[in-house]
Chains A and B, each alone.
Chain A
Amino acid sequence: MLSKFNVLIAAASLSLCACGQDAKFANQDADIIGVPLEATTQLSRQDGADQSRISIFDETTRRIHQFDLSSFAFQRSFAVQYADQKHYLLYGDTSDYVVDLSKKHFSIFDSNGSENKRPVKLIGEPLSAAFRPDQNLLVVYDDVFNVGMIKLREDGSVEKSWTGGSLISGEASIRCGDLLTDGRLVLALSDRNLAIVDVTGSIDQKQWVKTIIPSNLAKQISWIAPVPDSNDQILALTVDEIALISLSTQTVLDSYPVSGMTVEKYSKAKDAHVILRSVTDGGITMKMVYAEASHVKSRALPKQERSLIHSFLDISRDEWTYVEASVASNYLIGYNDLDQARVQRKMKKYRLSDMAGLENKDLPDRAQLHLSSSYIFALFPSELGYAARYSTESDDVKIVKLFNRKYL
């Protein structure tokens, strides 16, 4: 009885989100393109190596700071428009520009620090973005369901762009999507089909240039993620299952049932995975579901009482890292935000292959955090400036401080 009740709740949540209801609900990571806008970039590149730099919006000084993670030094800082808003940043290691989004604006800081204000006109408030820095492709999805596609130059200037609406094929509209590693945009449609979009072609022709294929799933897809090291496979979540789909063969390679469970976390950091929660007589069990070698696999965390606020999977390193915390009642389940709770956060790392515990580390309170496989970056709420880089594999700590002085 309890499990059926949970499924009903999850289904209702998905439906509400599809209708464009309150975004502050369980599925903020679902029904979007890419990932929800976060305040910083990932610390790991697509190839698994750690980023050499990080851009982060400092909530204390309301500025964007950039740090060199290798030498751990403060590099530069930008003043932003609408500093009172929360800012979301997109940044690649191979290019030296920063995309800055807030509810009220969209701008790009180029390699010289010059700000290009409103490079593309947004009609609604940005909800999510998909970003391929290696190809300088940016897709922004807003709350009026427009899809802004932008091709950037190496210096961060806009080469070309086009905004498409949610009606992509017949009467079917977009539900969710993401960019594949080769730069194609895969979209799940309301008619349970998939659209493979040529982004560059769409921008050039000012219309959707796409190929429609069936998903072969019984229910609508609410969440899509590319599978690492594959241009052909995607993970797709419906109310019934997590499916691994081959785009070329248009077949479901494998699936994992989600009945009786609720989604605890959607994560595309670094490798896509979903964490499901089930409540049994034995307590709360978390299951992490991911794709590897054309199969859908899972790992279980029994008796996981504390909420998982962040999850990071690195299949190439055979590691799964998550952060747990005691959260407030308004905690956004599903939202893979490490900073939703800022006290008593604990990081745990497991060897993926046999779930051997590798790390069990308390994280600093009050700081804005970001994780990679090797580092924990912490930006503390210091008006003078204080940031730290902690190794996840040793007790090594590097500090940089007083970088906010000139901005006081």
Chain B
Amino acid sequence: MKRLRRFLIALGALGLAPAAPVFASSFVGNGGNTGDVELRVTLNQIRDALADVTAETPEEDLCICLSGLDAHAACDVLQALTPDQQKTCSGFLKKRAKQIQSLASPDGAVRYTWTNESIQVTEKNGPRAADAVALPAQNLVTINQSRFVTMANHERLLLLTHELGHLTKEDGKHPVDDEPVGGFTSAEGGRELLNAVAASVVQMSYARGIYEKYEGTLTLSQGVKQNWIFLASGSTKADEHDAFSVTKFQGSKFGYRHQFGAIGAIVQYRSAEGSENIRSTVHLKETLKAWGAGVAYRYFPSDDPLTFWGQSHLVGTFMVEQLNTDYSLKDDFNDERETAVSTSWTAGLSYFMPLKRNFWIYLQYEYLPHKYSYETLAVESGNTQSSYAVGVAYAF
């Protein structure tokens, strides 16, 4: 209870004072920013929760703790309502449910911005810290990004319902936090009303199983993460120059990529080994070890970040790689070895598919046009390689 109250106090307030944050990242809304998915899911949940609330909905069915949800979060707020407050809350909800639904829709004309600065709103009683702030005049909601993504699902629902509530209006007037309204007669009656309305929406969400509906979406790995660690294994093919060329290799690679947005930087290490036999006793073996670094470009073919295909994306890479090779030519009596070094540009294309909880699986093709030879043994091997790999990645 105390935790919930502290949370509710921290909810956004009506932005009567120009408390716009100093820094606000631009909102793309299509999953291009951290929190975008959580935001869209929350808005979807609000719409779904209010879908059955109409003007004919009995008032006694709203703003109450629903059966079986007594111990749930938000129920404390509703249980503390007086009969007048419950009536005020349910009346507000009946009248403005459709407005809130409309505001929560993708074409509801509400703009959302992210910030990682602390939000301070000025009220009659002085400045107050908040996790979000609504500016009805601009139809704008600013949200603290880092706080929002770490909230529990129902906490996001409470926050946004409260802010959308500020954007509704009746008789040209938007609800404010620091004015009494109806049965909420205290100096912060407006806040208490919107909190009660938000708590009712949370209750309805649980009752309709809306959290379960979107749980998969929320746990789906998101491609907008900045840091990627990857590990893959696969095969590499090289051109055959003569009978002593090794043309097939098996190996693995691992690396790290940091995305600054669509553009990123990547470092990768790969190693592979190939061997072949000629006639019955001649054995060829070649090992490849390479370090590469370069740039990456991330591209999302699909717009909907709430789906598997929406999170799937392509990553193209262009690197400079230094390759160290070790070649061995043996039979029962000969054991020859030679090493070589090659530096070359490489290009690759990967397709990332989301799993759960920041894990990914990906398919990769790389073109590695190294050219080198073993001078002493007069052998050309391992040139112009193509690599195919399957890997896993973790993004954070």
Contact = CB atoms under 8 A, between A and B. Distances in A.
Given A405-B244, A408-B243, A382 B334 contact: yes
Contacts of B60: none
Nearest to B331: A384
A408 B336 contact: no
Interface stretch (B278-286, B364-372, B382-390): B278-286
B69 to A, nearest CB: 80
A254 interface: no
Nearest to A364: B333
Interface string A395-408: 00000011001001
Most buried by A among B331, B332, B333, B377: B333
B243 A382 contact: no
A384 B333 CA distance: 8
A145 interface: no
Contacts of B377: 402
Contacts of A382: 281, 331-334
B329 interface: yes
A380 B334 CA distance: 10
Q: Is the interface of B mostly helix, strand, loop or mixed?
A: loop
B282 A408 contact: yes
Contacts of A119: none
A153 B261 CA distance: 85
Contact of B281 (A383, A401, A402, A405): A383
Interface in B320-376: 329, 331-334, 336
Interface in A89-131: none
Contacts of B244: 405
Given A405-B244, A408-B243, A386 B279 contact: no
A402 B379 CA distance: 12
Interface in A370-391: 380-386
Interface size class of chain B, counting residues whose CB lies under 8 Å from the partner chain: 10 to 19
B278 A383 contact: yes
Contacts of A405: 244
Given A408-B278, A408-B282, A383 B331 contact: yes
B241 to A, nearest CB: 14
B244 to A, nearest CB: 7
B243 A386 contact: no
A402 B282 CA distance: 11
Nearest to A401: B334
A267 B332 CA distance: 33
Contacts of B329: 384, 402
Contacts of B336: 402
Contacts of B279: 383, 408
B243 A380 contact: no
Most buried by B among A382, A383, A386, A401: A383
Contacts of A402: 329, 334, 336, 377
Interface of A: 380-386, 401-402, 405, 408
Interface of B: 243-244, 278-282, 329, 331-334, 336, 377
Given A402-B334, A408-B279, 13 more contacts: A380-B332, A380-B333, A382-B332, A382-B334, A384-B331, A384-B333, A384-B334, A385-B334, A386-B331, A401-B334, A402-B336, A405-B244, A408-B282
11 contacts: A381-B332, A382-B334, A383-B278, A383-B331, A384-B333, A384-B334, A385-B334, A386-B334, A405-B244, A408-B278, A408-B282
User: Top 7 closest A-B pairs, CB basis?
Assistant: A386-B333, A382-B333, A384-B334, A384-B331, A380-B333, A383-B282, A383-B281
